[in-house]
Structure 1
Amino acid sequence: MRSQRAHQGRLATLVVMGVLLGGCARQGHLEAAGPRPPVTGTTGAAMPLAPEMLIGSWTLVDVAAPGAGTILRLAGSELHLIGSHCGTLGGSWRASDVGVFLADVWSASTVVVDSRPGCEKASQETPGWLRSVTAYQFDGAGSPVLLDGRRQTVARLIPGATPVPEPDKANSVLEPPRVTDEARRALAPAVALPATLIPADQRQPIGRWAPKSGHKAAYLEFTADSEWHGSDGCNDQSGRWITAADGTLLATARATTLAFCADSVPIEQWVTTARRAGLDGKALVLLNAHGDETGRLSPTN
């Protein structure tokens, strides 16, 4: 667990090593956010956004939603919302160096779900306040601030939170998250979209797409409420998605079945490893952080 001073030191180091990357966070169905203002620390120097600095156990403050929870734990790609009415909710998150943030909740403690009314539904839905978060920045003290599509504060994250044991809560959730090499690689900046592709904006991915080869039942659909649904041909898949400037695309994925079928198409892998999306004519092209094409799909309507 890192102290607030440790966050300040890390961010100050990044000022020397990096440059401030511009951009704005936009959600598929929300109004595009305006230009991001510079974020300054105690020295007044501009701070680059480093998504790995979001990893930690954070006390939630200034959250307007009642029962939102008291602790937000971000570790690797895993997310836990601790202390809500429904106990500990679990899911995943994504973030980028241009200030985009995406969260998805899809699980909860079995004991709590079975004993508290409404918690079965809550375990399968991202809370409204967390769904509204599309961006992040750091305040003058180096603490993260979660923002909505209009760059209004949704929640502030204060370091040093300590989760307490609860029924069905794994011991790993109680441990302070660490910034691993794997996490750094997953959150590293993506290379620019190739000049041959037109960056996909917040509206263009919406619709149903089909891979150019593979199982005939495979598909990928982006909906206006920032959900995606798909199939590899045999297994239904789903998650959340968000776009931003320069073709940035981030997506989460939920638990799915693992039925085998011939000619299956790795739709979930295409979406979750994508960091950029662009259009080649009418085709939607997905690329990973290294700029490698991972998927190419055609519109079905």
Structure 2
Amino acid sequence: MALLGNWTLAGVAEEPHGILRLAPDRMQLFGRCGILVGSWRADTGGLFVAGMFGSSGAEGGRGCDDAPGQNPQWLQRVASYRLEGDTPMLLDADGALVARLLPGATPTPGPYLAASEVAPPEITDEVRRQFAPAAALPATLAPVAGDRLVGKWVPVSGPRTAYVEFKADGEWRGSDGCNGQAGRWVVGSGGAFLATTGPSTQIGCDGVPVGAWLTSSWRAGLAGETLVLLDARSKETGRLRRAD
């Protein structure tokens, strides 16, 4: 919960006046490319992952028109965080500093957002439960390292068209069997696992909700060659195997 709030970005050359709003259900970046919107996840062990999937009010800054709504390069590098007093520090996979988050920012809502949509997020009991520590990986599963995840996986059972492909750069792409999906992922020690996803088409079919599996999971472990995904209470969300 220490990350929830409105923050001024410090140390990010690409966003010298950027404001990052981290709410329980979304991330907003108010910067030189207008307002970027996405999803994010973090755990109490210091893992962090975020993915942008929409934008509004782009101002045509350098690089803004090339990939509207996509992850800025600096945010794509972030894989963890630590706290120095009340100041969150966003770090890359090697532990190097990417950005400092300074409290007290006041984003301007502009014509598309209500003032309530840019106010500091409210911390409710439900939010506290949402950000509570996840259960440990069961001893029957082996923690999975990032290099073991890279590649294409399919559900143990279900249509052959459903799949998830984890890429080495932290992106994942997949399908429930009918609808394309994509997001970001990160793993940590002890089987810690986090993933985000963006919007998807809504074609109805008898598919497998692989995107929901990923975004509801907090732990990932191997049972032999089978990847087992678990939620915060160690309840299984899904099983995947290597694609043939």
Q: TM-score, normalized by length of structure 2?
A: 0.93
1:111-122 map, 5 Å: 111-112=57-58, 118-122=63-67
Which structure has more strand as a fraction of its residues? 2
The residue that corresponds to 1:278 in the other structure is 221
CA distance in 2 between counterparts of 1:267 and 1:295 reads 8
Residue segments in structure 1 that go unaligned for 5+ positions in a row: 1-51
Specify the SS of the correspondent of 1:184. Answer: helix
Change (3 A) 1:211 1:228: same
**Aligned pair 1:214/2:214, yes or no?**
no
CA distance in 2 between counterparts of 1:68 and 1:90 reads 18
The answer to whether the 8 A contact 2:137-2:234 is kept is yes
The answer to whether the 8 A contact 1:220-1:229 is kept is yes
The residue that corresponds to 1:13 in the other structure is none
The answer to whether the 8 A contact 2:28-2:35 is kept is yes
The residue that corresponds to 2:74 in the other structure is 129
Specify the SS of the correspondent of 1:265. Answer: coil
The answer to whether the 8 A contact 1:284-1:296 is kept is yes
The answer to whether the 8 A contact 1:87-1:166 is kept is no
Aligned length: 244
Specify the SS of the correspondent of 1:225. Answer: coil
The residue that corresponds to 1:92 in the other structure is 39
The residue that corresponds to 1:21 in the other structure is none
1:20-169 map, 5 Å: 52-63=1-12, 65-67=13-15, 69-82=17-30, 84-109=31-56, 111-112=57-58, 118-140=63-85, 142-169=86-113
Specify the SS of the correspondent of 2:146. Answer: coil
Kindly state the Cα deviation for residue 53 of structure 1 after the two structures are TM-superposed.
Answer: 1.2
CA distance in 2 between counterparts of 1:129 and 1:67 reads 9
Give the letter for the 1:238 counterpart. Answer: A
CA distance in 1 between counterparts of 2:219 and 2:164 reads 16
CA distance in 1 between counterparts of 2:131 and 2:167 reads 25
Give the letter for the 1:251 counterpart. Answer: A
Q: TM-score, normalized by length of structure 1?
A: 0.76
| Deviation digits for residues 197-241 of structure 1 (CA, Å, limit 9, x no counterpart) | 110012111111111222221111111111111111111111000
Percentage identity across aligned positions? 48
CA distance in 2 between counterparts of 1:116 and 1:138 reads 31
Structure with higher Rg: it is 1
The answer to whether the 8 A contact 2:9-2:15 is kept is no
Kindly state the Cα deviation for residue 181 of structure 1 after the two structures are TM-superposed.
Answer: 2.7
Give the letter for the 1:274 counterpart. Answer: S
Residue segments in structure 2 that go unaligned for 5+ positions in a row: none
The answer to whether the 8 A contact 2:10-2:16 is kept is no
CA distance in 2 between counterparts of 1:135 and 1:189 reads 16
Give the letter for the 1:75 counterpart. Answer: A
Which structure has more helix as a fraction of its residues? 1
| Deviation digits for residues 31-60 of structure 1 (CA, Å, limit 9, x no counterpart) | xxxxxxxxxxxxxxxxxxxxx111000111
Change (3 A) 1:123 1:88: same
Kindly state the Cα deviation for residue 90 of structure 1 after the two structures are TM-superposed.
Answer: 0.7
CA distance in 1 between counterparts of 2:225 and 2:176 reads 21
Change (3 A) 1:228 1:197: same
CA distance in 2 between counterparts of 1:129 and 1:284 reads 30
State the superposition RMSD in angstroms.
1.8
Which of 203, 208, 221 does residue 265 from structure 1 map onto? 208
Which of 119, 126, 129 does residue 185 from structure 1 map onto? 129
